[in-house]
Amino acid sequence: MISNIYEFLDKSVAKYPNKTLFVSGKNCINYLEFSHKSSALASKILEFGLNKKPVLIISPKSIEALIAMFGVARSGNFYSIIDEKMPFERVQKIINILKPALIITARDLGSSVNDMVLM
């Protein structure tokens, strides 16, 4: 019996490693590539010693956002995701409320939070 989303991914990778999993515009990714990338991110998160902590993902809807979501879940943490186009003041309010242990984004958040940023 499958008990979590990454077990489902692992079983799907075993069955369909080269089958396209997601398509976003001109970009696509297969099951195996997606699994490797999300596992690599999970490993990187675990290097920070995080366990059952909030992680904020700031990203547009994309394959990279899905990789981040699975990577955080695989690392044993939980995530909140917001669109990178959100106004900076709103992002700061969310950070102040959520108090994430880590922020995953490609967006420049200024010196006040850059020490928490991965990617």
**Contact predicate 94/82, CB 8 Å:** yes
Percent of the chain with pLDDT over 70: 87
Q: What is the CATH number of the domain that holds 36?
A: 3.40.50.980
3-state class (DSSP) for residue 23: strand
Q: Widest CA span of the chain, in angstroms?
A: 46
The predicted model scores a pTM of: 0.84
**Alpha carbons 32 and 20: distance in angstroms, whole number:** 9
Total domains in the fold of the chain = 1
DSSP character for 60?
-
**Alpha carbons 35 and 15: distance in angstroms, whole number:** 13
Residue 79: in which H helix or E strand, if any?
strand 78-82
Which of the two residues, 106 and 82, has the higher pLDDT score?
82
- pLDDT per residue over 28-82, tens digit each? 999 999 999 999 999 999 999 999 999 999 999 899 999 999 999 999 999 999 9
Which domain, by its residues, includes 79? Answer: 5-118
